[in-house]
Structure 1
Amino acid sequence: MNSFSPYGHTLSRRVTATGVQEGRQHPIDARLQVVASESLFRGAHEIGIEHEGSMYRLKITRQGKLILNK
């Protein structure tokens, strides 16, 4: 499963059947809702996120990192 982590250094990571991200030694917190970035962006490089009446832009950079701007 691809996952989106706001603390990761890449756009997505692979998660094994045991819930451990490849390349990391600790398990993913079972309470954390994981959303694949592909399901958010659906082929786009920028999306809008409305939060408490404000609009934010979530962008994928040329290096494949995520940037959130207000």
Structure 2
Amino acid sequence: MTPNEPDAAPAVSPASQTQRLVESRELFRGENEILISHGDAIYRMKITRQGKLILNK
């Protein structure tokens, strides 16, 4: 399917235009783990050896 076809999906959906994109490298700044404060709870986000993210309370 090419972009000129009438059935082609838009490159950017309307919902994504209002959402903020944050790069993980900006959050982690070279570290493999960060703590996130959310309300009264502290969460731990880690980058696994496979490059995936895990969030734990």
Identify whether the pair has TM-score above 0.5, normalized to the shorter chain: yes
**Aligned-partner Cα distance in 2 for 1:68–1:42:** 17
Q: What TM-score does the superposition give when structure 2 sets the normalisation length?
A: 0.74
- 1:6-32: CA deviation from partner (whole Å, max 9, x where unpaired): xxxxxxxxxxxxxxxxxxx85251111
Structure label with greater radius of gyration: 2
TM-score normalised per structure 1: 0.61
Gaps of 5+ in 1: 1-24
Residue 47 of structure 1 pairs with residue 37 of structure 2:
no
Question: Which of residues 15, 24, 35 in structure 1 aligns to 2:22?
Answer: 35
Let me know the Cα RMSD of the aligned residues: 1.5
Task: Give the helix-richer structure, 1 or 2.
Answer: 2
User: Per the alignment, in what secondary structure is the counterpart of residue 49 of structure 1?
Assistant: strand
Q: After TM superposition, give the deviation of residue 49 of structure 1 in Å.
A: 0.1
Q: What number of residue pairs does the alignment pair up?
A: 46
What percentage of residue pairs aligned between the two structures are identical? 52
